[in-house]
């Protein structure tokens, strides 16, 4: 099952970068929950729920970023504990036009082969710890 979960994450990253909200919704469990550190910085905290969580997340990100995507993703299989990724979010500030690049980590849990819980971290190593792979 864990290799299947890794493949779900790879497909999700691809859909994320294509801004394919339908594909992301299909990969998410109906009880999906995503706690975003990036939108929390700008909006005072945000948790997105359900298969349509991505619509609200992308809208919040678009308020601050002109363009943005995941770059250099590495995927780490933690077996029954889930999957973690480390990556850079790269883009350009909406109002400043300044290029932005920040290292991020994310931890994922699955239910019935779908994304069930997702949390992002400003320190990539925290995502590894969240799934039992870090110190």
Q: Which residues contact 9 (CB under 8 A, 6 or more apart)?
A: 75, 83, 85, 108
- Structural domain tally of the chain? 1
66-76 per-position pLDDT tens digit: 889 999 999 99
59-106 per-position pLDDT tens digit: 988 888 888 999 999 999 999 889 999 999 999 988 899 998 999 999
Residue 97 lies in a domain: yes
Q: Is the pLDDT confidence value at 29 over 70?
A: yes
Q: Is the pLDDT confidence value at 111 over 90?
A: yes
Residue 52 lies in a domain: yes
Look up the CATH number of the domain holding residue 114.
3.10.450.50
Residue 135 lies in a domain: no
Longest dimension (CA), the chain: 44
Residue 81 lies in a domain: yes
Mean pLDDT confidence for 39-62: 80
Mean pLDDT of the chain: 91
Residue 37 lies in a domain: yes
Residue 25 lies in a domain: yes
For residues 105 and 81, what is the distance between their CA atoms, to the nearest angstrom?
A: 16
Residue 23 lies in a domain: yes
pLDDT given at position 71: 97
Q: Is the pLDDT confidence value at 45 over 70?
A: no
Domain that holds residue 121: 2-130
Residue 72 lies in a domain: yes
Q: What sign results for the dihedral spanned by CA atoms 65, 67, 68, 71?
A: negative
């Amino acid at each position: 099952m864990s290799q299947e979960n890794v493949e779900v994450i790879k497909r999700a990253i691809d859909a994320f970068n294509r801004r394919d909200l339908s594909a992301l919704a299909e990969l998410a469990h109906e009880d999906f929950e995503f706690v975003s550190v990036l939108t929390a910085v700008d909006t005072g905290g945000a948790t997105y729920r359900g298969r349509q969580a991505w619509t609200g997340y992308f809208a919040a990100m678009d308020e601050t970023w002109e363009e943005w995507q995941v770059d250099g993703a590495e995927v780490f299989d933690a077996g029954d504990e889930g999957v973690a990724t480390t990556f850079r979010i790269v883009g350009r500030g909406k109002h400043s036009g300044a290029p932005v690049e920040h290292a991020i980590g994310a931890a994922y849990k699955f239910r019935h082969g779908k994304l069930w819980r997702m949390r992002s971290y400003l320190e990539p190593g925290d995502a590894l710890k969240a799934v039992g792979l870090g110190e």
